[in-house]
Amino acid sequence: MRIDVVSLFPEFVAQCAAFGVVGRAVERGLLSIHGTNPRDHAEGNYRRVDDRPFGGGPGMVMLIDPLRRAIEAARSAAEGPVRVVYMSPQGRRLDQETVRRLAAEPRLILLCGRYEGIDERLTRAEVDEEISIGDYVLSGGELAAAVVIDAIARLQDGALNDAESAVQDSFEDGLLDCPHFTRPVEHELGAVPEILLSGDHAKIARWRRMQSLGRTAERRPDLLKGRELSKADAALLRQYREASMSTPETVADATEPAAAGPETG
Ligand code: 9D3
């Protein structure tokens, strides 16, 4: 897959793709990432890429033509159809389903805005889809593009090693991860749950599933809404809730419903 990033800071995105799983996917030739700078397609001594918004107000808007030429350069840099995605606070929120859909494209152009954004006429003419990565304010689309690239790279065939793929598969089911422990067994911060030391793999798998279900129900109930649990999962979730009723920390929480857990801040 080929991804072209149209950005005033193309090196920024390239750097994000230089390490770890994404870097490995690039080295293995599963993915190539290219930057195109609209500044290189701007005119005049000043190479302007932005101007003041019609109607007044603060901030600047990116000019149509340098961006349009940059998109055109990226489009014709390789063969084949390209989906143009504008990283934008007005976009649909990114989720794993969208990542899977984009990962299946042969080519993408990720358009990154700066300032207040791009001229709406360019969006209408060139953009197939607008994507946001969440409800918080960034300074531009570059970090959002890096997020999309990272998530896409992981889904390219051969990008993950066997262990990474197994973990990916087991959590493509829309639940939060179970807790993890490593050495030492005994530590001043506590002991490792005994069941994980039992060697009973079926029992361990059930315990992990129970933890995943329980933590999802507690921390992200939205992920379980409108989802029918299997009889086995429903039983595990009941078991998790019964167990947590009898642990001291949870009893304390139950007496203070306003107290947020450490991760829900
Ligand atoms: C403070 C500026 N805001 C005026 C009301 C609007 C605004 C313009 C440009 C807010 C953010 C940005 C830059 N953000 C992105 O380009 C962006 C983004 C984001 O801010 N949050 C989540 N996903 C994305 S994708 C691109």
The region of weakest confidence among 37-41, 103-107, 217-221, 257-261 is 257-261
- Half-sphere exposure in the Cβ direction for 63 (13 Å, CA): 15
pLDDT tens digits, 199-255: 999 999 999 999 999 999 999 999 999 999 999 999 999 999 999 998 766 444 545
13 — pLDDT class (breaks 50, 70, 90): confident
Site to probe by mutation for ligand 1, drawn from 12, 137, 142 as the one with most ligand atoms within 8 Å of Cβ, is 137
The rounded mean pLDDT for the chain is: 93
Residue 256 has pLDDT above 70, yes or no: no
The conformational region for residue 76 under phi > 0 = left, psi -120 to 50 = alpha, else beta, is alpha
Q: Is 92 in the pocket of ligand 1 (CB under 6 A)?
A: no
Q: Is 144 in the pocket of ligand 1 (CB under 6 A)?
A: yes
261 — phi, psi (to 5°)?
Answer: -70, 170
d(CA 176, CA 170): 10
Say yes or no: domain 2-163 is CATH 3.30.2270.10: no
Intervals of CATH 1.10.1270.20 along the chain? 168-253
User: Which residue's CA is the nearest one to ligand 1's atom 6?
Assistant: 116
Determine the average pLDDT of the residues in 114-136.
98
Q: How far is CA 96 from the centre of its chain?
A: 7
Q: Is 138 in the pocket of ligand 1 (CB under 6 A)?
A: yes
Q: Which amino acid is at 34?
A: H
Q: Which amino acid is at 79?
A: E
Determine the topology of domain 168-253 in CATH.
Trp Operon Repressor; Chain A (1.10.1270)
d(CA 111, CA 84): 7
Intervals of CATH 3.40.1280.10 along the chain? 2-163
